[in-house]
Structure 1
Amino acid sequence: MGGAGRAVRAAWRGPGRERDLVVQSLKAAGAALLAWVVAKNLLGDPMALMAPWVALVLVQATVFGSLRQAGQQCTAICAGTLCASAAQAVTGDPLGALALSVPPLMLLANWPRFGDQGVYAATTAVFTLASGTVTPSAVGHRVGQAVLGAVIGVAVNALVLPPVHLRDVRENLTALAREVGEVLHAVAAGLRDGEWDAATTTEWSRAAARLERRRDGLRSARDWSRESLRLTSGPLRGLRRGPLDAPPEAEDDRWSRVTAHVTALTRTLAVAADGDRTPAPPEEAALRTYARLLDLVGDACQTDAAERPPEPDSRRGAEMEELRGRLEESLRDHAGDGSPHTAVLGTLLLQVDNLWAELIPATPKR
């Protein structure tokens, strides 16, 4: 009940997923009601079952999805109706017709071109035989109702507040930026305190894997956004509240690269923490310096998450240059001494440079 209450309050407060769900539900109910009235008055069907059923299920999350599924469902309904009618004509018995028609229709339901609408072929066959009216006029009537319901469902979805899913892209980008910052701050805290081992780096690696799943969610949201803009009218789109433009796709690529760099960074630390591996972790002084660098980069991620434009910050840039200089000096000293810390420190410095270049492009580097 608590979750339901929160959803109701969120829908009442303003635009969001909860309100979108309410709008789509009301549209589906309205389409079913309209289809029932039209089918009863125009087609003279006292039950008017098929038209509202089809209209109800075709108010999908995107207009393009409604149109695609309308074609799939109408084809499935026609196939089920015709197959059941033919089986009834051959066997002359509803049970025999059911046994003859449903198995091949269930096999046909698995055809990829039907999507998830293929099962309607078998259910329509069952309904056709159960109704006991398998005549040419009844078959034509039922198919006509399906087409009517499809037209009404698609029209309602396209013309009444057409669903546009741009918010999901923005929310996923914001969440990804925030979570990258959190991971970098967590790694920085562990390195600064000196309390990290193989178990700690395993947790960091898991956090990086969650970032990759969030990145996959962003890609899915982008595909959903593109589909939602297909076949939707510009003027009708303008009736919706909230931003009508999604962040540019270049942002997806940028944060995909950032996620990859964070994954590489945590993998390097995991290797360094493994006592059975040759590379050794850097000394504590270098790690504390590196932790401060990660904190600054994590702060830049939080700025992105807050959707503030990355402004040049001379103090931050100067501090980063100083920290990088100290790390480069440590790296030269390690390399000159043939220290086993050299490989790990050099790799970590490369990864933070990559993150810096992606997140703070306006700050000049050496």
Structure 2
Amino acid sequence: MLIVKSALAASLAWFVANDLLGAPSATFAPFSALLMVQVTISQSLFQSLRYAAAVIAGAVVTGLLIPALGATMAAFAVLMLAGLTIGRWHKLGSQGPQVAVAALFAYASFTQSDPQSSYLQLVSIAGLVVLGCVIGVVINLLVVPPMRFRSGAYVVDSLSRSLCDLLTDVADGLTDGMPDDDQVSQWSYRAGRIPDLAEQARTSIEHAAESMRFNPRRLFMRQSTDFSGYRVTVCAFQRANEQVMSVCRSLRHSSDARESPHGTDRVLGELASVLHAAAEATRVLGSIHHVVDLDRASDLDEPLDRGRDAIARASEQVDTHDLDHGRDGPIYTGLLTDARRLIEEYGEARHQLAQQGDPESQMEG
């Protein structure tokens, strides 16, 4: 679709510039139109403004320097230095080099015609560039405007399923007792892949949010196009996964112990309940994407309460069997700490979602 729209924009720009206006340098219009058909509407708009500003700046600098210095080699060098220096202005962004390019074409017009014709040529070039930018933006805006709204939901769902499956597998493994090294290594490997998935999700969310800016298709969407819920969810998943990785490190040390103390199975069983509750919270969070979904943040209360109760029982078992002392004491203390932090991360996410869903809280914030 992007190729088709680019071809359409260039063809229309050529028709207007060459056939209708009869411009001598008509190629500037389709060239500009091609550049302005970007992946998103906002990119097309902002890049067209920067590109037009860069070309006009190059033409103006040429119109000021060359008549004063003459069309000489020294004047050309000064012109290039001036164009490249202006092109470093951060407001022009990636279009900064176009200042020197435009100055180069404008200089050629001064060397091939008289000054009056050269000034008219500069005005013509600037006008054709603006014309091409306008045509490129309009085509991108009206012909199937690009939108990546669903991609954000897809990657968040994928991340949610991956983390939920991992939590469930770890919980099931702890239900059977102390896991062996191979199980823990496999869980650690899967947990190590979650940060990459989270980064991909964050990138896709930002691209989806950008594609909605100035996009007329959003007016016809029934659901909200706000991405606040997505961002909270991904951050919560990333922090929760850090606790899962810490649990795996503690379990690896536990599996290295010669024998498990009495009461270990009960503690591991309660920790499994915590992870099952976290898996359910992950599933619920994974379905909260839009403003209209934020009211469902209360659905997290039940699994979070189950997780807190299981932590309390696990802590009681540790105290009853005096597992927090002795050689393996730090292991069980660490497991309890990781479990608490895991539930706290989801509790914080629930709080943030509730605040975003409450207009009064947003106004107070």
TM norm structure 2: 0.71
8 Å Cα contact 1:262/1:351 also seen in 2: no
State the match for 1:169 in structure 2: 152
In structure 2, which of residues 172, 182, 192 is the aligned counterpart of residue 206 of structure 1?
Answer: 192
Q: Which amino acid aligns with 2:143?
A: V
1:321–1:244 Cα change, 3 Å:
closer
Secondary structure of 1:115's partner?
Answer: helix
Does residue 110 (structure 1) correspond to residue 88 (structure 2)? The answer is yes
The structure-2 alpha-carbon separation of the partners of 1:95 and 1:175, relative to structure 1 and needing over 3 Å to count, comes to farther
Q: Pick the aligned partner of 1:263 from 242, 246, 249.
A: 242
TM-superposed CA distance for 1:152, in Å, is 1.3
Deviation of residue 30 (structure 1)?
Answer: 0.9
Structure 1 pair 359–146 and aligned structure 2 pair: CA distance change class (3 A): closer
Determine if the alignment matches structure 1 residue 128 to structure 2 residue 106.
yes
8 Å Cα contact 1:208-1:263 kept in structure 2: no
CA deviation profile, 1:253-282 (whole Å, cap 9, x unmatched): 14422321221332354366469xxxxx99
1:294 to 238, 250, 275: 275
Query: 1:194 corresponds to which letter in structure 2?
Result: P
Of 64, 72, 76 in structure 1, the residue corresponding to residue 50 of structure 2 is 72
- Output the CA distance in 2 between the equivalents of 1:292 and 1:195: 19
Per-residue CA deviations over 1:238-266 (Å, capped at 9, x if unaligned) read: 3xxx8764475234314422321221332
1:38 is the counterpart of 2:16: yes
Amino acid at match of 2:267: A
Contact 2:29 2:132 in 1 (8 A): yes
Cα distance change on mapping 1:156 and 1:129 into 2, 3 Å: same
Task: Give the Cα–Cα distance (whole angstroms) in 2 for the partners of residues 52 and 263 of structure 1.
Answer: 51
Q: Which residue of 2 aligns with 1:345?
A: 335
8 Å CA contact retained: 1:174, 1:304: no
The percentage of aligned residue pairs carrying the same residue is 24
**1:267 alignment partner AA:** S
The 10-residue stretch of structure 1 (256-265 or 335-344) with the greater mean CA deviation from structure 2: 335-344
Aligned CA distance change for structure 1 residues 183 and 211 (closer, same or farther; 3 Å): farther
Match of 2:134 among 139, 151, 160: 151
Q: 1:331 to 1:102 in 2, by over 3 A?
A: same
Q: Which amino acid aligns with 1:103?
A: L
| Comparing 200-209 and 100-109, the one that deviates more | 200-209
CA displacement at 1:186 relative to structure 2 = 5.5
CA deviations 1:161-185 (Å, max 9, x no partner) are 2233312321232122123224424
Aligned equivalents of 2:191, 2:305: Cα separation in 1: 30
How far did residue 39 of structure 1 move? 0.5
d(CA) in 2 for partners of 1:179, 1:355: 18
Q: Which one is further off, 32-41 or 122-131?
A: 122-131
Matched with 2:214 is 231
- Alpha-carbon deviation of 1:328? 4.2
Kindly state the Cα deviation for residue 304 of structure 1 after the two structures are TM-superposed.
6.4
Q: Determine if contact 1:335/1:342 at 8 Å carries over to the other structure.
A: no
Shift in alpha-carbon separation, 1:343–1:55, aligned structure 2, 3 A: same
CA shift for structure 1 position 34: 0.6
Q: Which has the higher helix share?
A: 2
Instruction: Give the secondary-structure state (helix, strand or coil) at the position aligned to 1:116.
Output: helix
1:257 aligned partner, one-letter code: A
Q: Counterpart of 2:123? A: 140
Residues 134-172 of structure 1, C-alpha deviations (whole Å, 9 max, x = no match): 611111111111111122122222222223331232123
Query: Which stretches in structure 1 are left out of the alignment for 5+ residues?
Result: 1-21, 276-280, 362-366
Letter in 1 for 2:124: H
Aligned-partner residue type, residue 154 of structure 1 = V
Counterpart amino acid of residue 259 in structure 1: Q
Asked if 1:60 is matched to 2:46, the reply is no
**2: CA distance between counterparts of 1:171 and 1:213?**
14
1-structure distance, mates of 2:122, 2:51: 16
Whole-angstrom distance in 2 between the partners of 1:219 and 1:305: 14
Partner of 1:50 in structure 2? 28
Distance 1:330 1:144, change over 3 A: same
Distance, in Å, in 2 between the alignment partners of 1:346 and 1:237 is: 49
Count of residues in correspondence between the two structures: 326
Shift of 1:114: 0.3
- The Cα shift of 1:213 comes to 2.1
Write the distance in 1 (CA, Å) between the matches of 2:226 and 2:157: 10
Matched residue SS, 1:180: helix
- Who is 2:67 aligned against? 89
